[in-house]
Structure 1
Amino acid sequence: MRPFNKPSKSIPDQIALLQERGLVINDVPLAQHSLGHISYYRLRAYWLYFEAAPDSGDHTFKPETTFEAVLALYEFDRRLRLALMDALERIEVAARGAWAHQMAMVYGPHGYLNAALYRRTDLFQANLDQLQSEYDRSHDVFVNHYKRTYNNPPLPPVWMAAEFISFGLLSKFFSALGGRADRKSIARNVGFDDRVFQGLMHHLATVRNVCAHHGRLWNRSFTVTFPIAQNPAALAQTLAPEADRKLYNTLTTLLHSMAIVAPNSNWPKQIATLVTENPVGDFAAMGFPEGWRERPLWAPLLSA
């Protein structure tokens, strides 16, 4: 531990430092604009890939690395985040709808509030407290209407709860359900068995948070993983168990789910095209295995 003593640097000073470290800056106005509107620290997450030995503290760049190459990688990652948000939104909405429908049809409008449906009373109470907090903070029109109109039960019916509950909390309610038939019915609606979907919900919530906060995505190692699906065969044969922390398995899983929740969407073709436009050509950093283009879920998208 030591005191932080790095000085603030102006944009001209930032450019001078990058040039001193070997970064080729052919278009200084472009670099000034980018550092002013994206920021040095955000772009640093991308030029780290181009540094010669970042793990040793050596921040010099590999020979002939250009600022334009760094910017191209940043733009590629930005487009990946936007594309993933499209798929994640569709899958999240499908999961919310499936949860609300299952709970309402089997247990009634407020049956989801019955502690007997969950495996652990303490976890249910913690989830319920968090749901109450999210409900109290919500100012959606339908929430305000319920607050003004009804006093019992204190929380709204499940189809309303499905609209304001955070995705992270929804995953906790799903995981805590004691009846596997309920979990299987909900998970089936988005294309998975309940075991896979339970872990996948936690993972996708993490991925969505990365995207929502504009974090680096393309070569990230995720801390929250999910079980590798064993079926259907096309999905199982496309996934790469060795890439359990990488984007490849996330994208492959989204390809499978999008075919179910949004079968008319052009998203699979768009994401396949985008992946091939990786400006550094390093697919292994994203977890893509050898021969990924020939695997069942990717091959049809790349053959045209």
Structure 2
Amino acid sequence: MRTRRVIFCPKSEWWEAGLIPPKPLYSKPALSLADQIAKLEANGMVIDDHAIAEHCLQHISYYRLSAYWLPFEHPKGQAGPRFRTGTNLQTVLDLYEFDRKLRLLVLDAVERVEVAARGAWAYEMAMLGDGFSYLDQAIYADQNKFNQNCARLDKEVGRSKDTFIRHYKREYSGPARPPVWMSSELLSFGLLSQWYAALKEPSLRQKVADPFDLDEVIFVTFLHQLAIVRNICAHHGRLWNRTLDVSLKLPKKSPPNLAAALNRSAPKKIYNTLAMIQHCLDRAELGNTWRERLQTLVSAMPYGNPQMMGFPVDWADHKLWGGTK
């Protein structure tokens, strides 16, 4: 067997030779809480109360908070302290708390939209014939994807401890896969969006989207992205100033109030998702107060401006958000 030689040389020589230099091994050391505080202060961050700082670093963590002090840093490579003059740890903590409240607010709305979407999908699948019509391979475009979705459903059925599944298994000899109104309660939101997107006929997908007054092409991408946002919230991820991995297909003209309120210049920021959520809430839950709660939270944003999350300057003036525009 031939051995492979690794030649070490300055990066400049690698670039001149048209090669990519090897990546270094990660070697940053673990730091005690006291050392973390000392490092922040040495880099120019103002810490008024070391006891509060130690408490927050202990219970939130340095690494999680680092995403919230990133906007306060000078560009990399610039000489001098890491943080801009006057950067205070309390401002970073206030921004973290704002994001925490935003996640909880979004999670509250996603739950209601998700339940409504589950109900719409289960109803239309049942109306195809009976509770098991959703298992007809002929209504799906990709048979391999259909088989994968069935396998994932089988896994959920097999490990479920829900009372209704126990009852189904105890009282009935089959089919092995339960009727759609039961299965819809077992699927994760992400898997539900995949069952929906896999439907072959646009007209059938449209029936599921009709209660939300959205085109099915729009609704497919919205459910996919909403499942991702839900997982970010559920796992305590950052929404503030985040660039989402999946873009939405945005309605151009209809529904008019939604189309007018969207920000097409920031397709991967959270604002458009929030606008879509509000539109769906207006259909799924009459008299909801989510828009007012969101406006109150955003108006109290502790740092920067809402444009960092894709909010248009005049967002609150649009009819979707209770304005007149």
Which residue of structure 2 aligns with residue 282 of structure 1? 305
Task: State the TM-score, normalized to the length of structure 2.
Answer: 0.89
- CA distances 1:160-202 after superposition (whole Å, capped 9, x unpaired): 0010111111111111112223211111223322110000011
Distance 2:316 2:304 in 1: 14
Label 1:162 to 1:59 Cα distance change in 2 as closer, same or farther (>3 A): farther
Which residue of structure 2 aligns with residue 145 of structure 1? 167
Which deviates more, 245-254 or 174-183? 174-183
The percentage of counterpart residues that share the same residue type is 44
- CA distances 1:207-242 after superposition (whole Å, capped 9, x unpaired): 011101101111000011110013111110100111
Distance 2:80 2:181 in 1: 55
- Deviation of 1:55 (Å): 8.1
SS of structure 2 residue aligned to 1:30:
helix
- Which one-letter code corresponds to 1:258 in the other structure? L
Label 1:166 to 1:58 Cα distance change in 2 as closer, same or farther (>3 A): farther
SS of structure 1 residue aligned to 2:149:
helix
**1:103 and 2:161 aligned:** no
1:258 to 270, 281, 294: 281
1:123 to 145, 149, 153: 145
Label 1:169 to 1:277 Cα distance change in 2 as closer, same or farther (>3 A): same
Distance 2:138 2:60 in 1: 50
**Superposition pairs for residues 65-104 of structure 1, below 5 Å?**
65-104=87-126
Which deviates more, 138-147 or 212-221? 138-147
**1:154 and 2:188 aligned:** no
Contact kept in structure 1, 2:68 and 2:95, CA below 8 Å: yes
Which residue of structure 1 aligns with residue 39 of structure 2? 17
Give the structure with the larger helix fraction.
1
Which residue of structure 1 aligns with residue 211 of structure 2? 189
Contact kept in structure 1, 2:44 and 2:81, CA below 8 Å: no
Contact kept in structure 2, 1:91 and 1:190, CA below 8 Å: no
Distance 2:78 2:285 in 1: 46
Task: State the TM-score, normalized to the length of structure 1.
Answer: 0.95
Contact kept in structure 2, 1:76 and 1:278, CA below 8 Å: yes
Distance 2:79 2:26 in 1: 16
Which deviates more, 70-79 or 112-121? 112-121
Structure 2 gaps, min length 5 = 1-22
Contact kept in structure 2, 1:177 and 1:183, CA below 8 Å: yes
Contact kept in structure 1, 2:315 and 2:321, CA below 8 Å: yes
**1:240 and 2:240 aligned:** no
Contact kept in structure 1, 2:157 and 2:186, CA below 8 Å: yes
Which residue of structure 1 aligns with residue 245 of structure 2? 223
Distance 1:266 1:54 in 2: 43
- Which one-letter code corresponds to 2:249 in the other structure? P
Which residue of structure 2 aligns with residue 300 of structure 1? 323
What count of residue pairs does the alignment treat as equivalent?
A: 302
